[in-house]
Structure 1
Amino acid sequence: MKFLFIVQGEGRGHMTQAVALSQILEGMGHEVAATCIGKSKRRNIPEFVIKNLKSPVHSIESPNFVSDKNNRKILLGKSILLNLSKFPVFLKSLRNIDEVVKHHNPDVIINFYDILGGLYNLLYRPQASCWAIGHQYLIDHPDFPFAKSHGLEKLLFKINTKITSMGTDRIFALSFRPLASNTFSKVRIVPPILRKDIFELNPSEGDFILSYMVNPGYGEEVVKFAKRHPNIKIEAFWDKKGVGKTHHALPNLTFHQVDDQLFLSKMASCKGLLSTAGFESICEAMYLGKPVMMVPVAGQYEQACNALDAIKSGAGISNKNFDFKFFHDYLSASLFQPSQMDTWAKMTIGIMEEEIGMLQNVKKRNVNYGNQLGHEYQTFHFNLPKKS
């Protein structure tokens, strides 16, 4: 079958999921014909994404966040106003997506949480089956923990999530842990989609704390901490522009530009991961049995929810600041107990094979995929643990 991806370009997680799923699909003998990625002035598309997505990559203007001058906090109000002002630009992006879709004529369009992906499905009604993938689609599950909302944060998070899934036939809600599913819902709870490289790593415990910061503005905070605590060794990844591939800021602090292979290698050998609360990095650390301390990006409500859900799933702890001393003390106290992520994550390929087989059977019978979904899912559904 032929697939086409639409990917949110804000942050690394959705792009990494797209890379991982492309590896799974190609391993099954399917084709990822093209990928449309929402571009942002705040950061470039990482080189590893371009390198690992073997199909053509089309960058499109898509809604994104606006951050403060220090690139540390998301400014929600300004983000909304800016994106509304760029509505004509986004209409052009929708036409660009439609050109790519018509050129490749895919069997399935998969949207990795991009607003334009949902709007395209709703407005253009493509002939392809439409899927949506993301951790955010757990919001309707009774076990999903919502963070305390300031103002309209929770409502806007829910609205945004609904927009990205408009016009879809199937929604895959990525979860840190197995959860009971509604058999007749078009939402299926599935494991994280991890890159194949992570399954080939042999974890060990090194002498450093690994850090990943989606906003390079946190770098100044890390430097100040490293100066105060020269006995704590830190290796950090960022995507700060104008800085070399490796930057030795202090004897105990090294910054690396985002590099997929180096990051996974460092994660496999670190003591623990201190990171913003993006879903994908947390899952990778959990799979490798590494403790995590999460620092949700200020003003990004979904990251606050991610942190709560990850703690509930046994990932580690959270904090409001990049306090390496607090995390160092947690690691020294040996309070961490590894989760069962290694078993859960290995179910992904089987589930994808099952879903594609189900779709192929429906298409062979020339019936509507969405209308037949409840019956087909009841037939093929994995029996996951029910909520006690």
Structure 2
Amino acid sequence: MKFLFIVQGEGRGHMTQAISLSQHLNKTGHEVVAVCIGKSSRRAIPDFVFESFSCTVTTFDSPNFKTDPKGKEIRIASTIVHNLSRGRIYQKSLMDIHSLVKKYQPNVIINFYDLLGGLYNFFYRPDVEFWAIGHQYLIGHQDFLFAQGFPIQKLLFILNTKLTALGAKRELALSFRPMKAPRRKKLTVLPPLLRKSIKGLHSNEGEYFLSYIVNPGYGEEIIFFAKKHPNIQIVAFWDKKDVPEIFTPLPNLTFHEVNDQLFLEKMANCKGLICTAGFESICEALYLDKPVMVVPVKGQYEQACNALETAASGVGIQHDTFDFLIFDEFLKSRQINNEQARIWMDSFPINFNRILTSTFFSDQAELLNQQPKTRIEVS
């Protein structure tokens, strides 16, 4: 079967998810014929993303967040005004996507949470299966934890999520823990999409903290902390423009440009991970048995929900600043057993294959369902 991906280029999570799913599909005899990645002037798409696919990879202009001058807080009003002013540009992006769909004739289009992906399916109505995949679709689950106190941001988050899945036959919600069967028929809860490279790593407890920041403005906060605490070693990853690939402002602090494999290797050997509350990094740390402290990006409601879920599930803690001392205190008292989480995460292939089989090979579905299933505790 042929698949075409539409991928949001904000952060790295959706892109690494697309890489992982592409690896799985290629391994099982399917083909990813094209990958379309939404881009903006705010950040560059890392080279490793283009190198990780064996098919055509194109980019298109897509809506993105606007931040404050320091690059830390999301400005909702500015984001809306900016993206509304670029309507003609996004119209061309939709046409470009449609040209690729007509050229490659996929059986399935999978949208990794790009807004234009949902709008494309709504306006062009391609005669193919359209699926939406991402952690965000858990909002359709009856047990999802919504952050309190942000009514407007909550409404916009729900609206954006619904727009990315307009007309979708299936919504595949990624979760770092098993959940009860959803009441909504087209919603399926799946394990995270982790790349195969992480499963070959051996975890060790090193002497440094690892940090990953979506918005480079948080780099100033980390530099300020490192100056005050020269005895604490920090390795950080960011995608700040106009700086060297390896930037060492202090003896105890090194920044790396976002690098797929290097980040995982550093994570496997760190004491713990402090990051903005992106779903993918939390899952990778969980798989490698690394404790986590998340600092949700201000103004980004989705990250407030991720932080709440991280704390409620016992995966880690949340805080409002990059305070490595607070995290260090947490490490001294942590008691986390991630064995069940790893079993759940390793079950993605068989769970996804069941979906493919039930959708396209119904005559084989009964046989597949008779195979032994991994027993996983549901919270």
Distance 1:17 1:32 in 2: 14
Distance 1:247 1:75 in 2: 28
Contact preservation (8 Å) 1:40, 1:62: yes
Distance 1:195 1:294 in 2: 22
Which has the higher mean CA deviation after the structures are superposed, 204-213 or 148-157? 148-157
Structure 1 letter corresponding to 2:283: C
Count of equivalent residues:
378
Q: How well do the aligned residues superpose, as a CA RMSD in angstroms? A: 2.3
Q: Relative to structure 1, is the Cα distance of residues 246 and 184 closer, same or farther in structure 2, using a 3 angstrom cutoff? A: closer
Matched position secondary structure for 2:333:
coil
Distance 1:59 1:384 in 2: 41
Match of 2:189 in 1: 189
Distance 2:215 2:371 in 1: 41
Q: Relative to structure 1, is the Cα distance of residues 291 and 387 closer, same or farther in structure 2, using a 3 angstrom cutoff? A: closer
Matched position secondary structure for 2:55:
coil
TM-score, structure 1 normalization: 0.93
Match of 1:218 in 2: 218
Structure 2 letter corresponding to 1:158: I
Contact preservation (8 Å) 2:178, 2:191: yes
Identity of matched residues, %: 53
Distance 1:324 1:207 in 2: 13
Matched position secondary structure for 1:325:
helix
TM-score, structure 2 normalization: 0.95
Deviation at 1:385, TM superposition (A): 6.9
Contact preservation (8 Å) 2:310, 2:318: no
Deviation at 1:378, TM superposition (A): 9.7
Q: Relative to structure 1, is the Cα distance of residues 142 and 129 closer, same or farther in structure 2, using a 3 angstrom cutoff? A: same
Matched, 1:170 2:180: no
Q: Relative to structure 1, is the Cα distance of residues 376 and 78 closer, same or farther in structure 2, using a 3 angstrom cutoff? A: farther
Matched, 1:152 2:129: no
Superposition pairs of residues 27-38 of structure 1, within 5 angstroms: 27-38=27-38
Matched, 1:329 2:329: yes
Deviation at 1:142, TM superposition (A): 2.3
Matched, 1:73 2:73: yes
Match of 1:117 in 2: 117
Match of 1:338 in 2: 337
Contact preservation (8 Å) 1:226, 1:250: yes
Q: Relative to structure 1, is the Cα distance of residues 184 and 330 closer, same or farther in structure 2, using a 3 angstrom cutoff? A: closer
Contact preservation (8 Å) 2:208, 2:235: yes
CA offsets per residue over residues 220-277 of structure 1, 9 Å max, x none? 1111100111111100001111111111211111111111111000000000000000
Match of 2:289 in 1: 289
* Structure 2: unaligned runs, 5 residues or longer: none
Distance 1:73 1:148 in 2: 18
Matched position secondary structure for 1:216:
coil
Matched, 1:4 2:10: no
Structure 2 letter corresponding to 1:276: T
Distance 1:163 1:21 in 2: 22
Q: Relative to structure 1, is the Cα distance of residues 156 and 272 closer, same or farther in structure 2, using a 3 angstrom cutoff? A: same
Matched position secondary structure for 2:9:
coil
Matched position secondary structure for 1:152:
helix
Match of 2:86 in 1: 86
CA offsets per residue over residues 144-167 of structure 1, 9 Å max, x none? 111123341111111111111111
Contact preservation (8 Å) 2:2, 2:106: yes
Matched, 1:251 2:251: yes
Superposition pairs of residues 19-58 of structure 1, within 5 angstroms: 19-58=19-58
* Structure 1: unaligned runs, 5 residues or longer: 366-372
